[in-house]
Homo-oligomer: A and B are copies of this chain.
Amino acid sequence: MADRSTIYEVARRSGVSTATVSRVMADGKGFSPATRERVRAIAAELGWVPSGPARGLASRRSGIVGLLFPDLGRSGEAEEESPLYIDQVIRGAERAATAVGDAVLIAATQCASGRELAFSVAGKVDGLVVMARSVSDEDIDALARSVPVVVLANNRVRSGLDFVGADNRSGARDVTGHLITEHGIRDLAFLGGPSESPDSQDRFAGFCDALALAGLPVPGAPAADGAFTEAGGDQAARAMLAERVPRAIVCGNDEMAIGALGALRSARLRVPADVVVTGFDDIAATRHVRPALTTVHQPMRELGERAVQVLLGRLSEPAGPPFTVVLPTEVVIRGSCGCRAPGSRRQA
């Protein structure tokens, strides 16, 4: 509290040199157990912890990795607009970082206004994990010139950058295929997210793959857009239902599917009897809604973990060819697709 003490004072009071104090705090080698105890005791007594900035300057490693994620819904007053799965990614990143003694710096950025923040963060970290839609593609390239960058869940391949993502396309193909094959459904509609979202694009592509595979007509675009939010899903579904009632609504994510469930209920349509619904992501709420939501599980936590692992790898191996990690997704069968036995999983 009172003017933070320095390594010099600790050294003086313990009767050793600063080099020895440094070695002790780094848990390295080159000192007797007795010295170690004495130094640590003095440090504790003084409430001294080595200065991160000074350490970082001297060793050229801050021991911090940055995570940039999209900052949705900050403009409006709406709470919880941001996709819930981001929190899981953050947890995963934190876990992987602390596993090696690093810490995670987080920053929510919007493509438009986040530039300054993003570059400010870049200066404070050893490397950056950048989630889709948190900064513009050009800025990703710019950031990558300042610091190692791992791109997360953004299918737009940036030349030479490491990438970690989930197999969205296969997941969407598989759920859609399930509806077609197991339930004999031939009239399906896709409820997409923001058109610029790579995730939404990939999932729509997978949806189309399944239709094509079954010889069904392939639409050129999602039947409606729901902004990846529950309210948006509700609205989009209402609009869709006003025109026609498909036998199945395949949603770009779980939040929208839950919104669609509400719209369907308002329209006095039963799920799955009249219309079946599927989601994507497998957020916690899918188990709580009635009927429970058939969806595609995305390994959100692992996405975060792998992203920082790849980043750490890059830090120790600055050259080397770019990594690309695509984690598998799997469909999770619950009630909303019309299946009886819920809970089973099929890997994609």
Contact = CB atoms under 8 A, between A and B. Distances in A.
Interface of A: 1, 4, 44, 47-57, 62-64, 66, 74, 79-80, 82, 84, 87-88, 90-91, 94-95, 98, 101, 103-108, 117, 119-125, 142, 144-148, 258, 284-285, 288-290, 301, 318
A88 B1 CA distance: 29
A98 B119 CA distance: 13
B53 A52 contact: yes
Contacts of A123: 49-52, 55
Query: Sorted from nearest, which 6 A-B pairs have the closest CB atoms?
Result: A47-B145, A53-B56, A52-B124, A87-B87, A49-B123, A288-B288
A37 to B, nearest CB: 16
B106 A103 contact: yes
A258 B128 CA distance: 38
A160 to B, nearest CB: 9
A103 B121 contact: yes
A9 B318 CA distance: 22
B106 A94 contact: yes
A95 B124 contact: no
A98 B105 contact: no
A336 to B, nearest CB: 13
Contacts of A57: 51, 53-54, 57
A146 B53 contact: no
Nearest to A286: B288
B284 A146 contact: no
A1 B106 contact: no
B1 A144 contact: yes
B64 A105 contact: yes
A91 B103 contact: no
A72 to B, nearest CB: 11
17 contacts: A1-B318, A47-B142, A49-B146, A51-B57, A53-B54, A53-B55, A53-B57, A55-B123, A57-B57, A63-B120, A64-B105, A79-B301, A87-B87, A98-B107, A101-B117, A103-B124, A104-B107
A43 B49 CA distance: 34
Nearest to A67: B106
A309 B4 CA distance: 22
Q: Which of A106, A107, A121, A318 has the most CB of B within 10 A?
A: A106
B103 A103 contact: no
A270 to B, nearest CB: 15
B52 A125 contact: yes
A304 to B, nearest CB: 12
Contacts of A104: 105-107
Contacts of A101: 117, 120
B105 A91 contact: no
A40 to B, nearest CB: 11
Given A1-B318, A124-B62, A119 B288 contact: no
B142 A44 contact: yes
Nearest to A45: B145
Nearest to A319: B1
